[in-house]
Structure 1
Amino acid sequence: MNAHWRASAAGEIDAEHDIYDDDVLCEYPQSGERILGRVNLQALRGHHPGRPSGFEVRRIFGEGNLWITEYTIIYQGKPAYTVSMMEFRDGKVVHETQYFADPFDAPGWRSQWFKARREACRWVRCPRLSSLRTA
Structure 2
Amino acid sequence: MDRNRELLERLWPTDGRLALSAEAEHELRTDDYVLDMPQSGERIVGRDLMRAMQQEYPNPPSIQILRISGAGDHFVIVGRSDYDGDIYYVANVVEFRDGRIARETRIYGAPFEPPPWRAKYATSPPR
TM range (shorter): 0.7 to 0.9
Residue of 100, 106, 109 corresponding to 2:108: 100
AA in 1 matched with 2:22: I
Structure 1-normalised TM-score? Answer: 0.76
- Structure 2: gaps (5+ residues): 1-7
TM-score computed with the length of structure 2 as normaliser = 0.81
Let me know the Cα RMSD of the aligned residues. 2.1
C-alpha change, 1:18 and 1:72, in structure 2 (3 Å) is: farther
- Structure 1 residues without counterparts, runs of 5 or longer: 124-135
Write the distance in 1 (CA, Å) between the matches of 2:118 and 2:89.
21
Q: Is the 8 A contact 1:24 1:94 kept in 2?
A: yes
Distance 1:16 1:8, change over 3 A: farther
For 1:3, the equivalent position in structure 2 comes to 10
Structure 1 outlier segments of 4+, above 4 Å? none
Q: How high is the sequence identity, in percent, across the aligned residues? A: 32
CA distance in 2 between counterparts of 1:8 and 1:44 reads: 18
1:113 counterpart (100, 103, 121): 121
Aligned: 1:37 with 2:37: no
For these two proteins, the number of residue pairs brought into alignment is 118
Partner of 1:126: none
- Are 1:122 and 2:126 an aligned pair? yes
> What are the within-5 Å matches in structure 2 for residues 1-135 of structure 1?
1-6=8-13, 9-10=18-19, 12-52=21-61, 54-115=62-123, 118=124, 121-122=125-126
Deviates more, 1:28-37 or 1:9-18: 9-18
CA distance in 1, matches of 2:68, 2:28: 15
More helix by share: 1
Conserved in 2, the CA contact under 8 Å of 1:8 and 1:16?
no
